[in-house]
Amino acid sequence: MSLSLLPVLVALAAAGLLFCLFVFFGRGSATVSRRAQALSANRGWNGTPASAPVLIARGGGNRLDKLSQRLLPQPAQLRLRLEATGLPLTLGHYGAATLGAAFLAGLFLLMAGASFAAALFVGVTAGLLVPHVAVGIMAGRRKARFLKLFTDAIGLIVRGLRAGLPITETIGVVGREVADPVGEEFRRVADQVRLGRPLEESLWQAAGRLKLPEFNFLVISLSVQRETGGNLAETLENLGQILRSRGQMRLKIKAMSSEATASALIIGSLPFVMALLMYLFSRDYLTVLFTNPLGQMMLAGGIVSLVTGAFIMRQMVRFEI
């Protein structure tokens, strides 16, 4: 790559980064703030404002949102994945992250001396994988926080039912008393019920967002009790004990597989650490992989084998309960 193109590429990279920052924290945040202020002026029946993600999911968004909805595959499923993160993310944010990751990855390879074809391939791959993986990680962390508080929420529902409160009122109490993300989801359910939506339908919608077997157990228990009758408090108390046992088993599995997980992380990170050291101390020795066609083929094969090995190691230490 000619050195005269370096300032141009750096300027383009800076412009792309500023554009992504504007899309993520500019107009979208301002829209969310305006909607939150309007909502706070008209509070729900229980004195607490409804959750902002409901409005975000219904909102049409800006031009980038509409363009992303047309270009991205399966926008409805993608919108559910974004809602599962608990953050005010839209399809426009996801599209901007895709373009930004692709552009920056391709630019980095061009600056390293790689061919345009290799930079294009890596850029497209990064644009497809990086936002997808990032959304999955954020959603997984939110699910983990949800599971930590979910058994306490069930216990609160049981105590409310034994005190004589109806199930809809106990769900509202959980939304007010339990921390997020459990409180957030139960508040959304309570708000939908107050607006006239059936409780079972609202719970199944929340289950579709969370995609957690533990929450599905709760919804199924409530549905069966509504059809057959019986002591709902006792049913939910037994469910809470089962969920605590599942949590204990999950912790045991995590402790038993921690050594294998650490080994997988170390083995998977070694090639990247060695490549960084070679780039710092012997750059000419490493740039052959980017400039020579044979080196590019070897680099592509190494990346494919690394990804395959990481996937296999992840599946080996991953257990479903």
CATH code of the domain in which 220 resides: 1.20.81.30
Q: How many domains does the chain have?
A: 2
Q: Which of 255, 287, 313 is the last residue of a domain?
A: 255
Report if residue 149 sits inside a domain. yes
Q: What is the pLDDT of residue 283?
A: 82
Report if residue 43 sits inside a domain. no
CA distance 10 to 16: 10
Same domain, 175 and 278: no
Q: What is the pLDDT of residue 55?
A: 40
CA distance 191 to 44: 7
Q: What is the pLDDT of residue 250?
A: 85
CA distance 80 to 183: 19
pLDDT digit string (tens) for the chain, length 321 residues: 444 455 445 545 555 555 555 444 444 444 444 444 444 444 443 444 444 444 444 444 577 778 878 888 888 889 889 988 988 899 989 999 999 999 998 888 888 777 788 788 888 988 999 999 999 999 999 999 999 999 999 999 999 999 999 999 999 999 999 999 999 999 999 999 999 999 999 999 999 889 899 999 999 999 888 888 888 899 999 999 999 998 888 888 888 888 878 887 888 888 889 988 988 888 888 888 878 888 888 888 888 888 888 888 777 777 766
Q: What is the pLDDT of residue 49?
A: 42
Q: Which structural domain, as residue segments, surrounds residue 244?
A: 144-255
Contact 138, 160 (CB under 8 A): no
Exposure letters 136-149 (e unless 16+ CB within 10 A, then b): eebbeebbeebbeb
Same domain, 251 and 198: yes
- Global pTM? 0.69
Same domain, 161 and 227: yes
Report if residue 22 sits inside a domain. no
Same domain, 215 and 227: yes
Q: What is the pLDDT of residue 185?
A: 94
Scan for tokens 């605590």, then name that residue.
Answer: 244
Report if residue 39 sits inside a domain. no
Beta-carbon contacts of 70 under 8 Å, excluding residues fewer than 6 positions away, are: none
Same domain, 222 and 277: no
CA distance 234 to 257: 35
CA distance 110 to 308: 26
CA distance 318 to 308: 15
Contact 234, 225 (CB under 8 A): no
CA distance 185 to 188: 5
The rounded Cα 184 to chain-centroid distance in angstroms is: 16
